[in-house]
Amino acid sequence: MILTVTLNTALDITYQVPRLRAHTTHRVTEVTERPGGKGLNVARVLAALGHRAVVTGFAGGMTGTVLRERLAELGGAVTDALVPIAGTTRRTVGVVDADSGDTTQLNEPGPIVTTPEWAAFLGAYAELLREASAVALCGSLPPGVPVGTYARLIREARAAGVPTLLDTSGEPLRRGVAARPDIVKPNAHELAGLTGSTEPLRAARDARRRGAHAVAASLGADGMLAVTAEGTWRAAPPRRLAGNPTGAGDSAVAGLLSGLVEGAPWPDRLARAVALSAAAVRAPVAGEFDRGTYEELLGRIEVTEDPAA
């Protein structure tokens, strides 16, 4: 099974409005509510690809109860191994402008995690590693969780012989990269924040020197760049797609993880990640992708190797 860790889970609420304008009242035309947080989105995409996915992290309060109910409604596609806490799981609100296709995102900070709750999670994580074929460590850290948490979880996974993918930002990313994850998946902004360079290839090389075995950087509509020990590749979709980009990066993570556990070569992993990311833009909410778009794009993703990199 593939384990995804989302320490700052969320109940994702998406509002559709005809047009979003500041300082006005809006009539919402559609509301969707989904279990959220980056790792939960990754797990839902993995399940849709046919992989057994297990989610862990924290859930608490009424929002956490609703989140777990929504997970149960998936019919067992994703296994719930979340650790209960006293605090209340956060909400994230996305407002989709139907006129432009743009999304405005509002993210709450998350609940405070106590020392006993953190200890309970570490015990659960150690047990889950026994069956995991790969681990994705995703998203922000809630208050009360040490900033070096991802570095610790990467080291524990390596000790158990389980490969890791890290998808976070800021100081947790910097410390996590130093713990030598198998893959790190920043976007261009996060990569620049880590390395100080705004040139993606130079920044990705720097991230590898800092400890990551491989760097797969999301470049938005320009696709992805992978800098690995086996080589350097770029992949891009054949056309730009309009829609909701929320969760596109999480779908890319699912593509990279599924390729990893299947033993696919890096060009194939990258093509799958870009196709899934583009297909997620055509889905109404994070954690889903348009299968028709994915299947149509998969064979048309252009992957080029940079022999000089």
Separation between Cα atoms, residue 177 and residue 195, nearest integer Å: 11
Strand partners, 279: none
Contacts 24+ apart (CB under 8 A), 91-94: 91/10, 91/11, 91/12, 91/13, 91/63, 92/10, 92/11, 92/12, 92/13, 92/36, 93/13, 93/14, 93/15, 94/12, 94/13, 94/14, 94/15, 94/244, 94/246, 94/286
Start-end of H helices in the chain: 38-48, 61-72, 115-129, 149-159, 170-178, 188-195, 200-209, 248-262, 266-281, 291-298
The answer to whether 250 is a known catalytic residue is: yes
Residue 209: partners with Cβ closer than 8 Å, 6 or more residues away: none
Q: Which of 250, 268, 290, 306 is catalytic?
A: 250
Number of other CB atoms surrounding residue 224 within 10 Å: 29
Parallel/antiparallel/unpaired status of strands 232-236 and 224-227:
antiparallel
- Using CA atoms of 148, 113, 138, 74 in order, give the dihedral in degrees to the nearest 10: 160
Just list the catalytic residues. 250
